[in-house]
Amino acid sequence: MLKSLDTDGIFDPQTGLLTRDSFWRDLKKVMAESADRSLPLSVARFSFASTTDERARLDATRLMTRLIRNIDFAVRDEDGAILIVFTQTDLRSTNVIARRIAGMLRNNMLTPPGAGEPPSARVTLATLKIGDKLDTLMLRVAGGRMVAAE
């Protein structure tokens, strides 16, 4: 909450991640910079099964704030999925990072009472290609073509 107040509402007080408006603004800016400087940029989408309760999903977003690097940023999507932008990171490195984060989430997310198996995240990756626009990049990451971890 204090972080959100100190930054004039850039961060969501409930999750600690960026607000949607801030996320999309920063993503457009980083995409332009990456294209101009020929720097790698990758996006990961962590989605959870529909059986995962809201408390566990919120716990995952709070854990995510501690797991990502300072140069990366993330947002919680309307469906509860988490989008993370990995700046200056190619797809191979993003795959390694995403697997580690998914493992940390699996081991540390709150498990609802009576649930036999801990919730797990499905991870989809996409990297910025030459000529990509925001919508084409998001279509690839939301389309579920590349699964890095389950």
Domain holding 95: CATH number? 3.30.70.270
Q: Specify the DSSP element, H or E, that contains 82.
A: strand 82-87
Give the pLDDT score at 8.
57
Q: Which residues span the domain enclosing 75?
A: 2-149
Query: Domain total for the chain?
Result: 1
- Of 141, 138, 107, nearest to 121 (Cα)? 107
pLDDT at position 66 is 86
Return the H-helix or E-strand segment holding 124.
strand 121-127
Biggest CA–CA distance in the chain, Å, is 51
What is the gyration radius of the CA atoms in the chain, in angstroms? 15
Predicted TM-score of the model (pTM): 0.83
pLDDT at position 114 is 65
pLDDT in tens, the chain (150 residues): 444 434 556 888 788 888 899 899 999 999 999 999 999 999 999 988 766 777 778 888 888 888 888 899 999 988 888 999 999 999 999 999 999 999 888 888 776 666 666 677 889 999 999 988 998 999 999 874 444 444
